[in-house]
Amino acid sequence: MPETKTKKDEDFNEWYNEIVELADLCDKRYPIKGMNIWRPYGWKLMNNVDGLIRHEMEKTNHQEVYFPLLIPESFFKKEEEHIEGFGSEVYWITHAGTNELEERWLLRPTSETAMYPIFSLWIRSHSDLPLKIFQIVNTFRYETKQTRAFIRVREIHFFEAHTCHKDFDDAEGQIEEDKAIADRFLKRLCLPYVFSKRPDWDKFAGAYYTISIDILMPSGRTLQIGSIHQYRDNFSKPYEISYETEEGTHAYCHQTTYGMSERLLGAIIGVHGDNKGLVIPPEVAPIQVVIIPIIFKGKEQGVMDACNALHNKLKDENIRSRVDTRETTPGNKYYDWELKGVPLRVEIGPRDLEKNEIVIVRRDTSEKKSILQKGAEEAIKNELDKIATTLFNDADNVLNENMHRVLTVDEAKNKKGIIELPWCGNEGCALEVEDILEGNTLGEPIEDTKCGHSCPICSKPSKTWMRFARTY
Ligand SMILES: [Zn+2]
């Protein structure tokens, strides 16, 4: 069976670059670096992921909005840390036609500064709270580092939820809800993750604190696939988002945001793929089951009828399937759908039909077996669930094997993945560890944080752990 040119375990980064185009997810030939074309198969996959997000948002009473792409400079400039953090990454519009604009506009790098002046108009009284909205839009950041499809791009497919609350505690409740959303949602993508509280010097520009959601790629590097921010009243003060309390006084809102992007796709590709191509988690696969007719002369009609009948039965069960009727060999078809990561393949030939059977083949394990035609839709549904469970458990094992809690930098040096070391709370010590390990500070764990050891750099007592990893 043909495989990708580059082997995943030999050169993960090259394998990744190869697979995103071979599997028809994107086309990288557009002449602006970091702005790739979404091909139909990739876009469908992203839409399915977005569908799960929308479902979660609906369940938790968030409402979808759409704010304009362009932000006036005066809006952008109200929160100082935010400008400092994003200043070097924004694209500016200075001209309209031949006229120079009186006020420059920028392409949103994220939408705080577009939304918050408007929130101050929307929110008047405590009865307007909490305000919970989200949008799924494109955002733009001028990346100077090497770009990589779905992982480091300049036009970002971005999910952003923004909420306003009556006080800090209510906003903290939102952070808890966001964590639960992430947990449910990422399970459906079969992606185990870690939450880390980012260090102060590396939090989102303007945030009170930031919780990052990171996954581990097979290269041993982590990929941040999302973040949850507590803003406290850091934005509501400059943007004057205040409300009248029940007692008739005025108070500033406390705000949170939750962001994710097409890095989710990068994670799916990286974590689950193999040398044959993608392996897409069943819940988001554009095609969950591909049905391949095995044609012999004179028996075409019976086989085609059985294929179409199964396709219709699966449709009734809301399982996305396709009958591959192309004029090419079954072997070529297997190769093609394996490359595209379709979770389950069905083969139907005259000999199977004589026994009232069909053949199913799992993409993740290559396990092949015959099942009865009668009730096949139920068996297929169960098999898709099993695939999802296997994908999650395998990835979870890899993550657990690559999380290391150690006491000294020497021990850490020999480890791959995510390293936890005692941390005294001093920025300098963390940065020194970064230098030694040639990695980045991920942040503190948010659970199981207690540490009674001493800092490996300065030997001072450490109350907590700090995580380090090489990152994308
Ligand atoms: Zn220290």
Mind listing the domains of the chain with CATH numbers? 12-272 (3.30.930.10), 287-383 (3.40.50.800), 403-469 (3.30.110.30)
Distance 444 CA to ligand 1 centre (A): 14
Write down the pTM of the prediction.
Answer: 0.96
Give distance in angstroms: CA of 469 to centre of ligand 1: 18
Q: 453: CA distance to ligand 1 center in Å?
A: 11
- Residue 400 CA to ligand 1 centre (angstroms): 26
Digitized pLDDT (tens) for each residue of the chain, 472 residues in all: 456 788 999 999 999 999 999 999 999 999 999 999 999 999 999 999 999 999 999 999 999 999 999 999 999 988 877 778 888 899 999 999 999 999 999 999 999 999 999 999 999 999 999 999 999 999 999 999 999 999 999 999 999 999 999 999 999 999 999 999 999 999 999 999 999 999 999 888 889 999 999 999 999 999 999 999 999 999 999 999 999 999 999 999 999 999 999 999 999 999 999 999 999 999 999 999 999 999 988 888 999 999 999 999 999 999 999 999 999 999 999 999 999 999 999 999 999 999 999 999 999 999 999 999 999 999 999 999 999 999 999 999 999 999 999 999 999 998 999 999 999 999 999 999 999 999 999 999 999 999 999 999 999 999 899 999 999 9
CA dist 403 and 420 (Å) reads 8
Angstrom distance (rounded) from CA 157 to CA 68? 15
Phi and psi (nearest 5°) for 175?
-60, -40
Residues 6+ apart with CB under 8 A from 288: 282, 319, 320, 321, 342, 343, 344, 384
Place of tokens 């994220």: 110
How far does residue 411's CA lie from ligand 1's centre (Å)?
17
Look at residues 211, 260, 239 and name the one whose alpha carbon lies nearest to residue 110: 260
Helix (H) or strand (E) holding 258, with range, is strand 254-261
* Angle, helices 263-272/12-22, rounded to nearest 10 degrees: 110
Both tokens of 196, joined, read 């880390």
Q: Could you tell me which residues come within 8 angstroms of residue 39 by beta carbon, excluding any fewer than 6 positions away?
A: 24, 25, 26, 27
- Residue for token pair 């074309």: 37
pLDDT of residue 79: 80
Two structure tokens written together for 368: 């092949």
Q: Is the distance from CB of 194 to CB of 445 less than 8 angstroms?
A: yes
Centre of ligand 1 from the C-alpha of residue 65, in Å: 45
Give the pairing of strands 403-405 and 418-423.
Answer: parallel
First to last CA, the chain: 32
Which uninterrupted H or E stretch holds 138?
A: strand 131-140
Distance 418 CA to ligand 1 centre (A): 19
- Six-digit token string for 141: 């950041």
**Distance between Cα 460 and ligand 1 center (Å):** 6
As a whole number of Å, the CA-based R_g of the chain is 25
Which residue's entry shows tokens 């479902």?
55
State the distance from the centre of ligand 1 to the C-alpha of 461, rounded, in angstroms: 8
Q: Is 209 helix (H, G, I), strand (E, B) or coil?
A: strand
Which pLDDT tens digit goes with each residue over 161-217? 999 999 999 999 999 999 999 999 999 999 999 999 999 998 888 899 999 999 999
Distance CA 246, CA 262 (A): 42
Tokens (6 digits) for 85: 């953090």
- Residues counted in the chain: 472
Compute, in angstroms, the gap from residue 227 CA to the centroid of ligand 1. 27
- SS3 of 37-65: the string is EECHHHHHHHHHHHHHHHHHHHHCCCEEC
What is the model's pLDDT at position 296?
87
State which H helix or E strand residue 305 sits in: helix 300-316
- Give the pair of three-digit tokens for residue 426: 């001093």
Which residues, 6+ apart, have CB-to-CB distance to 158 below 8 Å?
A: 110, 136, 137, 138, 139, 259, 260, 261
Q: Give 198 Cα–ligand 1 centroid separation in angstroms.
A: 17
357 C-alpha vs ligand 1 centroid, how far in Å?
66
Query: Among candidates 201, 126, 90, 195, which has minimal Cα distance to 418?
Result: 195
Instruction: Say how many Å lie between the CA of residue 42 and the centre of ligand 1.
Output: 46
Residue with tokens 């002449």: 31
